Amino acid sequence: MLKQIQAHIQTGKLFRIVFVGDSLTSCEWVHPNWREIIEYVLKQELGKSMEDWKLPSWNIRCINSGLDGSTSADFLTRLDEYVLQFDPQLTFIMLGGNDRFFIDPSDTKGNLLKIIRAVQFSGSTVILSTEPVTASEAYDHDKEDMQKDIRILAQEADYFVDMYEKTKDIPLDRIYTFHEEEGNEECGIKPGGIDFVHPNSLGNAYIAQVFLKELFMIDFDPEKYMKDVASGEKYPRY
């Protein structure tokens, strides 16, 4: 896929990547997050292989369409606003985790299928992903049906990443460190409790590692990257 992006931007055209999902995608409270890391690494890799570094730096545009607390129904009704208007060439979809709290979970698969097909019809390549593992076995058990529905849809997407399976061995005690000051009733997190759903920056780096390897064949070391980030390096190594 990296070569496809390179070929596109060599024509001088913008290559737009849209990230669709809930709070696990928006990540507006944690930096760097997996979206930012993917953008950084893609530009770094293509900048090294192309004569003009400005081509990837200027022509790869990433749009955060992650909406905290959103469901598959929310995106289905507002797809034009949050995705299609940007005319993306590549669209990440990691969505459905909130459905069981706000809509009938039986609708998830149908909603996602409609979203995938609409985005593909617009000309975008679609990457579908399950959600990463959390620090709560009970919470992961409760969302098993949703993850299964997404796996069933794998053949409908252009690319599929089983993020849940790929993150089973991450160091959970170092990744889920945020505290929920006001709690999260839907997730069962009490005020002041550990947020076992939303990973910190290191956790986001591990999510980026999976996407970069599975989709772009790029080796990425989350620990090395975060060490450089912590030391204040302008261009963290990975």
Give tens-digit pLDDT for 174-233.
999 999 888 787 777 888 888 999 999 999 999 999 999 999 999 999 999 999 999 999
What's the pLDDT at 194? Answer: 87
Tell me the two tokens of residue 176. Answer: 């889920």
Instruction: Judge contact between 193 and 183, C-beta under 8 A.
Output: yes
Instruction: Using the structure block, give the residue that is written with the tokens 């698969």.
Output: 109
pTM of the model: 0.95
What's the pLDDT at 138? Answer: 93
What's the pLDDT at 86? Answer: 98
- Whether residue 32 is preceded by a cis peptide bond, meaning omega within 30 degrees of 0, is yes
Helix axis angle for 201-216 and 34-49, nearest 10°, is 50
What's the pLDDT at 65? Answer: 98
Instruction: Using the structure block, give the residue that is written with the tokens 């070391």.
Output: 221
What's the pLDDT at 188? Answer: 77
What's the pLDDT at 111? Answer: 98
CA-CA distance, 45 to 38, in Å (whole number)?
10
Q: Which segments of the chain have a pLDDT < 70?
A: none
What's the pLDDT at 185? Answer: 76
Instruction: Judge contact between 96 and 25, C-beta under 8 A.
Output: no
What's the pLDDT at 225? Answer: 98
What is the set of domains in the chain, with CATH numbers? 2-229 (3.40.50.1110)
One-letter-per-residue 3-state SS of the chain: CHHHHHHHHCCCCCEEEEEEECHHHHCCCCCCCHHHHHHHHHHHHHHHHCCCCHHHHHHEEEEEEECCCCCHHHHHHCHHHHCHHHCCCEEEEECCCCHHHHCCHHHHHHHHHHHHHHHHHCCCEEEEECCCCCCCHHHHHHCHHHHHHHHHHHHHCCEEECHHHHCCCCCHHHHCCCEECCCECCCCECCCEECCCCCCHHHHHHHHHHHHHHHHCCCCCHHHHHHHHHCCCCCCCC
